[in-house]
Structure 1
Amino acid sequence: MKPTTPAAEDYLKTIYSHTEWQAEPITPSALATRLGVAPSSVTEMVKKLAASGLLTHVPYGPLTLTAAGRLQATAVVRRHRLIETWLVSEMGYDWDEVHEEAEVLEHAISDRLLESMSSRLGNPTSDPHGDPIPAADGTVSMPSAVLLSAAPVGHRGKVLRVSDRDPAVLRQLAAAGVSPSTPITVADAMTLQLASGHSLQLTPSACDSIWVTR
């Protein structure tokens, strides 16, 4: 059964996104924290989604999307990321400004408008942060990546993805000219060496927000 409320879509999207770049499934308590809602609200929604055949779970255990739930989740993710791409490419937004706008618009635009938007943008496969945009049929092509904080000193590659969870990190990287596809070398645990020869000192939050080619 297709969820009909923005809240249900947000739950599915958050559950999907949690395991997109790592394998550990999300727990109800972590989901409540991510969504900023009470644990009792999560319990109620999880029951509804499970009854609709969109996820499986055991009491207090991790949450796993069913095939139907994953398809619904990727549809919402596709909307969100295409809107973010449109806001940056067509509306002049910076990449640290688009998340909240997309959170609202993803529940409002029609499928026809979404696909027209995708066509106008050249059917992009990733958003401004490097997150893959699912295809209309729900398929997703995930690149091989490693979290910067786990990359060894001397590792050379390109930035693949930057989490949009912390706008301050996005602003710092933008000011340094760093975005997906930027070549980098890991100088030490907290420092990137850029192709320009400049070094970029990062915070622990930034190191846990950047994925680079493996």
Structure 2
Amino acid sequence: MANAQVDNTLQFVDENGNVVNDGSTIEGKLEYVDDGFQQYYQISTGLYVKNNADTNTGTGVDITISSIDNGIVNCCFPSNCISLSKAGEYQTGNYYLTANEIKAFATEWIPQDYGTCSATFKLKVMNMKEEEIFGAPIVTYEFKAYGPSVTVNFTYDKNSTGINDITENDKKISAYYTLDGKEIKEPQKGINIVKYANGKTTKVVVK
């Protein structure tokens, strides 16, 4: 609904911590990926999600892909990754952010050819309930309210890959990490976080 109240417990922020207002439209950021096995370009949202609460907050994301010329949209927030290749409405699984945590939104379009993609991401604030099933603690999530949304326009064209866009420093890898932040010596099967010498990070999938 147009007049629905937005819950700002969770907010999108940029790499400098500035709030990205609800309903904003932004342009994706070109990133070069060289994981030692393959090299390609991806267009990242460049976003992070901030938990403004002093307690853990459950979250999920509703995704609406309005157009996608080719390739896939990868969303690895808040936890497990989903890969989407067609226009439509989708939702991620649920997880949580710890008190006052700022977490990378970890979402990008990986094109197979020149083209564009446009997608809207709406945060969801979830109530968390811990219970035991057969003696094991289980966390369940229940929808509470919608948080802010942002539309990202991804563009990959001849101008995107000019020599001035990607420097040698951008390509130099300084470290590999697992999704939970543990440093590893080389990429492992599944999702890996790659950190470059210029401080940028990105995700790569090793099959």
| TM-score, scaled to structure 2 | 0.22
- Which has more helix, going by share of residues? 1
Greater relative contact order, per chain length (Cα 8 Å cut-off, separation 6+): 2
- Which has more strand, going by share of residues? 2
